[in-house]
């Protein structure tokens, strides 16, 4: 049961919890296709506090809230809030906690969502805390892969790109390992996955994890690509160098499986040839759309609809 609980990390969820959300997301997905209203959270208020830029996560949460009948209060920017005057984050959180039924937060500091959950009485959902965790993106990704491939167990999933700083990849490795997928980590030198994350996935779930730096996708059922997290580099020039040299070209797709699905949390920058958008392998815009039914399911489960 997720009713009234925080969602700070994918580690907060048992396999049964995730399976419940995926089933509920499928129901929401189907219901959206009918065009009928799904106002199961009328009179509920969702607060969206985004202290970092966001397009898909913020808009999909707000769309999801409206689709289930909830109202939204939104912190548009630090500049337009009392934080600009020196108010502490703790006081801002306490204030919003008194106005809403659930808080969705994104913050640049790792651990900010856990901090918010400790302060707030209302449930807190982590929409990304620095390079740490992004659990709702992982739930969206697991749902997307299941919908496209019919299963997770035994699939060959390649995680490609900046595996050191990309919070999406940490959470996703954990989720894939839980469901028995085979994972190959493909990262440029210096941007490999944290060894502790890999060790946990292996020890807790018996995960099959391979690592290499060559851009070879021939064995992949799913290639999940992320951008180089330039904003998290100490040296922006080093980030630009990696951006230019580590990318998926059309040549990299020669010999891939006919039903390969390329996913991406977006935004795309320089990590893929724009021509890939026109191929049958590109499934990331469909993936982004599925963020709405998945986040509808999350809101409904946590607020007990």
Catalytic residue among 24, 44, 48, 57: 57
Catalytic residue among 24, 44, 106, 247: 106
Whether 149 sits among the annotated catalytic residues: the reply is no
Catalytic residue among 11, 56, 208, 289: 56
297: CB partners within 8 A, 6+ apart:
21, 22, 24, 25, 27, 28
Whether 57 sits among the annotated catalytic residues: the reply is yes
Chain center to CA of 241: 26
Catalytic residue among 36, 43, 85, 254: 85
How many whole angstroms separate alpha carbon 211 and alpha carbon 220? Answer: 13
Residue 51 structure tokens: 């202290």
Whether 56 sits among the annotated catalytic residues: the reply is yes
Residue with tokens 């707000």: 62
Q: How many Cα atoms sit within 13 Å of 188 on the Cβ side? A: 20
Q: How far is CA 144 from CA 96, 153, 176, in A?
A: 32, 14, 12
Active site residues: 56-57, 85, 106, 134
């Amino acid at each position: 049961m997720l009713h009234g609980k925080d969602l700070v990390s994918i580690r907060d969820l048992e396999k049964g919890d995730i399976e419940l959300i995926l089933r509920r997301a499928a129901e929401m997905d189907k219901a959206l296709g009918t065009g009928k209203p799904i106002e199961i959270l009328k009179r509920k208020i969702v607060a969206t506090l985004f202290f970092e830029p966001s397009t898909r996560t913020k808009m999909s949460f707000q769309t999801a809230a409206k689709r289930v009948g909830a109202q939204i209060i939104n912190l548009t920017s630090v500049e337009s809030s009392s934080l600009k005057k020196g108010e502490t984050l703790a006081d801002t959180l306490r204030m919003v906690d008194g106005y809403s039924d659930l808080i969705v937060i994104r913050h640049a500091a790792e651990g900010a969502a856990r901090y918010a959950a400790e302060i707030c009485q209302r449930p807190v959902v982590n929409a990304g805390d620095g390079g740490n965790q992004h659990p709702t993106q992982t739930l969206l990704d697991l749902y997307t892969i299941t919908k496209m491939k019919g299963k997770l167990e035994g699939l060959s999933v390649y995680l490609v790109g900046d595996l050191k700083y990309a919070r999406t990849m940490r959470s996703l490795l954990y989720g894939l390992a839980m469901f028995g997928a085979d994972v190959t980590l493909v990262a440029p030198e210096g941007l490999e996955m944290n060894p502790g994350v890999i060790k946990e996935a292996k020890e807790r779930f018996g995960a099959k994890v391979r690592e290499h730096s060559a851009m070879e996708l021939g064995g992949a059922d799913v290639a999940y690509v992320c951008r180089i997290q330039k904003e998290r580099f100490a040296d922006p020039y080093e980030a630009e160098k990696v951006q230019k040299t580590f990318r998926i070209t059309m040549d990299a797709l020669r010999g891939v499986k006919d039903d390969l699905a390329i996913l991406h949390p977006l935004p795309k920058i320089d990590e893929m040839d724009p021509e890939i958008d026109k191929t049958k392998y590109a499934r990331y815009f469909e993936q982004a759309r599925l963020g709405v039914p998945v986040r509808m399911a999350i809101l409904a489960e946590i607020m007990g609809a």
